[in-house]
Amino acid sequence: MNWTWFHRLGSPPHIYRIAGTLTPWFAWPAGLLIAAALYGGLVLAPPDYQQGEGFRILYVHAPSAWLAVMIYGVMASAAAVGLIWRMKVAHAVAASCAGVGAWFTAVSLLTGMLWGKPMWGTYWVWDPRLTAQLILLFLYLGYMGLRAGIDDLGRADKASAVLAIVGVVNIPIIRYSVEWWNSIHQAPSVMKMDRPSMPFDMLAPLLMMLLGFTLYFAAVMLVRLRAEILRRERTASWIREVLR
């Protein structure tokens, strides 16, 4: 089997070029999908019979919450690839994921709080999913803190990679323990959305939004990756040719 394609992935100029080419292919569909989903979700979809208009924040909340978890997975996978195959570009991918992931986590928390005010009558309830999400935010902040705390780039890459992998092992445990903790301390007051029975004109915008947000993440990650590569390779000669 020919592995050159794999080894070429380790070359910063190659990745820099590919990332530049791919970015619009993710960014445009992302923009179109999000715009269409916003129209579908905010205008076309009927108000929920229980939650009224308030449910519409779901169209931002659910995709952000999904991305917050998914990005951690992408980050840890990239970190593992970087650690195992000593691929510096993979570490750069992990580094460019962290900030985006932390922001999506924050957005999902904020929109969850905004949704909670009309639904629960208070901005914060120790709901298991909100709590687990808050801990996830701390995991992201710890990862970024460790990266910022180590001056040597190679060491920062590897140490934060180990942390990301430890975090991935722990996230399911944390999620389940929080779920269990909550089932003891709180009566299930959370209004559960019945996903399967959600009417199509509510569900379709949500799915579009999920896809749109995921593509948006890919586009932003690629832009950040290019910036990260430029920063890391600032002394390399190929940069001068690219930026001329």
Site residues, other proteins (CB under 8 A): 135, 138-139, 141-142, 145-146, 149-152, 154-155, 158-159, 162-163, 165-167, 169-170, 173-174, 177-178, 180-181, 184
Of how many residues is the chain composed?
244
Report the residue number, 73 or 142, with the smaller CB distance to other proteins: 142
Report the residue number, 28 or 180, with the smaller CB distance to other proteins: 180
Residue 17 amino acid letter: R
What gap in Å lies between CA 233 and CA 109, rounded to an integer?
36
Least gap, CB of 139 to other proteins (angstroms): 5
Least gap, CB of 148 to other proteins (angstroms): 9
Least gap, CB of 197 to other proteins (angstroms): 33
Least gap, CB of 155 to other proteins (angstroms): 6
What gap in Å lies between CA 18 and CA 103, rounded to an integer?
25
Report the residue number, 151 or 194, with the smaller CB distance to other proteins: 151
**In this structure, how many other beta carbons lie within 10 angstroms of the beta carbon of residue 224?**
19
Report the residue number, 15 or 139, with the smaller CB distance to other proteins: 139
CB 191 within 8 A of CB 51: yes
Report the residue number, 135 or 223, with the smaller CB distance to other proteins: 135
Least gap, CB of 68 to other proteins (angstroms): 14
Least gap, CB of 91 to other proteins (angstroms): 12
What gap in Å lies between CA 16 and CA 174, rounded to an integer?
36
CB 141 within 8 A of CB 76: no
Please give the C-alpha separations between residue 46 and each of 54, 170, 208, in angstroms, as whole numbers: 11, 39, 17
Q: Please name which of 168, 92, 184 lies closest in space to residue 136, comparing C-alpha atoms.
A: 168
Report the residue number, 80 or 193, with the smaller CB distance to other proteins: 80
What gap in Å lies between CA 171 and CA 116, rounded to an integer?
24
